[in-house]
Amino acid sequence: MTKVLGRVAAAVLALGLCAGAALAQPDYPRRPVTLIVPFAAGGPTDVISRIVGEHMSRTLGQQFVIENALGAGGTTASTRAMRAQPDGYTIIMGHMGTHAASVALYPNLAYKPDADFAPIGMVAGTPVLILGKKDFPPRDLNEFATYVKANVDRLNMAHAGVGSVSFTTCLLLNHILNVKPTSIPFNGTGPALTALIAGQVDYMCDQIVNVVQQINAGQIKAYAIGTAARSPALPNVPTSKEAGLPQFEAQAWNALFAPKDTPKPIVDKLSAALDKALDDDNTRQRLLELGSVLPEKPQRGQDALLALVKSEIGRWTPIIRAAGPSN
């Protein structure tokens, strides 16, 4: 009898705990949410996070606090996010580099992008451009290829660390051209772009969100965009196919992830808030002006993001292996 009563008491306690957890979730969030940005402030991931985070914080009634956590091409921050309490109070803006390319770039990567996170949703596609400093001699992509091949020993290429979009997409570019320039890492393409504008580095590959204004102001040169169609934000920049380098296919993406065991109702709440942000006219306009490509409804959800992560790991792994050692 005592045993039976003990079991009943344990069951009641377990039920109570479950009810407590379920009751706690409708209140979520009760305090600010930390949104980890794995790169420097002012760069593309940071800018997109602040625009979307602002709207999500209005929807959820709590501040989204941006925390720029730097290092190792975004993989340090991603490891931290993976190990954070799975309670919905720490999430990360991952991207094509941190959550796809890094798998092949780091054989001992601490996390599995497609298994160690709860996908919240895709935020934006970000086409990647081939860029040169203002007084870089080549006038078009053909001349760029010839010039870089002839002068590679004295050229510097900027990027945001092994694991970043800028590193991975220029790895593809350099592999196509069969060149290995000196590579100069920064903590994000915010600072890398500053170096390109100052003429301290010769070329880089960067997401459109970081560079529309600087291209239009003539502070840097744009040779091509790595998407099938030109961007409405930069209609004069040819696609890599039009410019003669069709193998340079480079569109990155940004997406929100929570740690793996975050309760489903919380992840659903975050997904719904993101969806609402992506439906908001003002948020859309701000993202579109920067050249982002906004996901349609079917591309937005948790399942669609997981499928994207898997397919992007599948796409980038052989490219990176064919390009050879990263450093």
Q: Which residues bind ligand MLT (CB under 6 A)?
A: 39-40, 43-46, 95, 97, 160, 164-166, 188-190, 207
Q: Of the two residues 158 and 273, which places its CB atom closer to ligand MLT in the complex?
A: 158
Residue 177 and residue 271: Cα distance in Å, rounded?
Answer: 41
Helix, strand, coil % in the chain, rounded to nearest 5:
50, 20, 30
State the angle between helix axes of 302-323 and 165-177 in degrees (0 to 180), rounded to the nearest 10. 40
As a whole number of angstroms, the distance between CA 271 and CA 257 comes to 10
- Characterize 291-305 residue by residue with b for buried, 16 or more Cβ atoms within 10 angstroms of its Cβ, and e for exposed: bbbbbeeebbbbebb
- As a whole number of angstroms, the distance between CA 230 and CA 291 comes to 10
- Nearer to ligand MLT by Cβ, of 207 and 240: the residue is 207
Non-local CB neighbours of 111 within 8 Å, separated by 6+ positions: 78, 79, 82, 117
What residue type is 204 in one-letter code?
M
Q: Looking at beta carbons only, is 40 or 56 nearer to ligand MLT?
A: 40
| Cβ 49 to ligand MLT shortest distance, Å | 9
Minimum Å gap between C-beta 73 and ligand MLT is: 7
State in angstroms the smallest separation of the CB of 251 from ligand MLT.
13
Closer residue to ligand MLT in complex, CB, 90/98: 98
Q: Which is nearer to ligand MLT, 93 or 177 (CB)?
A: 93
Can you tell me the distance from the alpha carbon of 132 to that of 130, in angstroms, rounded to the nearest whole number?
A: 7
Residue closer to ligand MLT, measured from CB, 44 or 263: 44
Strand partners, 127: 251
